[in-house]
Amino acid sequence: MGTDLERWRGKLAPLLDDITILPRRKPAGQLVKSLISGRTRDAVSLDAYRRLGKRYHSAARIADAPPDDVAAVIYDVTFAEQKSRWLVAAMAEIRSACPDFNLDFLAAMPIDAALGWLERLPGVGRKVAASTLNASSLARPVFIVDTHVLRVLRRLRFMHDTADISATSEAVTAARPGWDADDFLGFHVATKRLGQIACHETAPACGACLLQADCPSARHGGPLPS
């Protein structure tokens, strides 16, 4: 299974040619960005994150903000009201444990323990936790899975069609122990991109897929359950 991932990473590399991966944020900032980005286009969530920065300037001020005010700032992300409640509550809990919002201690924890610490925060599931560890300045070697990535890996039969985001993140992370944080992040971005441009939830464009030759769905002329 690990060799499949390495081959797929190579085949998907061209999808990164026109993508600029932004500099790594501090962990608390990456948590905020990831928490508001679920089921929202990247450009929209990035604009919303930047508006939060201009409005509040710090995680501490978000922790003190009325959720309705936060929702008005991130109005165009999906489920803005729910996310604003999670965001304010998560920042308040972080402040209780880390008044300076410095989450660098997560770098020294075993990855499972660090994921567990983050997942106890309101609104934080495996995707947000893995993103906080991997895509931030912590640069931990753990794989980020969103709905696009999950769909691709299920259709490739790397994962069973009932596998969830947590199980898929754990399986990919365990299968490539030699990959570093950048390897996992690049594979996440490329696989997500494939899901956006070809491996659609309905009517996948198998003929445009760089992994067509490896995919049981494409070989059988249509999508298997995803």
The CA-based angle 160-190-39, given to 5 degrees, is: 70
Instruction: Write down the pLDDT at residue 222.
Output: 57
Q: Which domains does the chain have, with CATH numbers?
A: 2-19+143-219 (1.10.1670.10), 27-134 (1.10.340.30)
Instruction: Write down the pLDDT at residue 186.
Output: 98
Instruction: Write down the pLDDT at residue 218.
Output: 87
Instruction: Write down the pLDDT at residue 217.
Output: 84
Instruction: Write down the pLDDT at residue 226.
Output: 45
Average pLDDT, consecutive stretches of 10 residues, N- to C-terminus, the chain (226 residues): 95 96 95 97 97 98 98 98 98 98 98 98 98 98 98 97 97 98 98 97 95 90 52
Cα 139 from Cα 204, distance rounded (Å): 33
All residues at 6 or more sequence positions from 200 whose CB lies less than 8 Å from its CB, including other chains? none
* Rounded alpha-carbon distances, angstroms, from residue 51 to 33, 80, 97, 171: 11, 13, 26, 36
Cα 124 from Cα 163, distance rounded (Å): 19
Instruction: Write down the pLDDT at residue 223.
Output: 54
Cα 44 from Cα 192, distance rounded (Å): 16
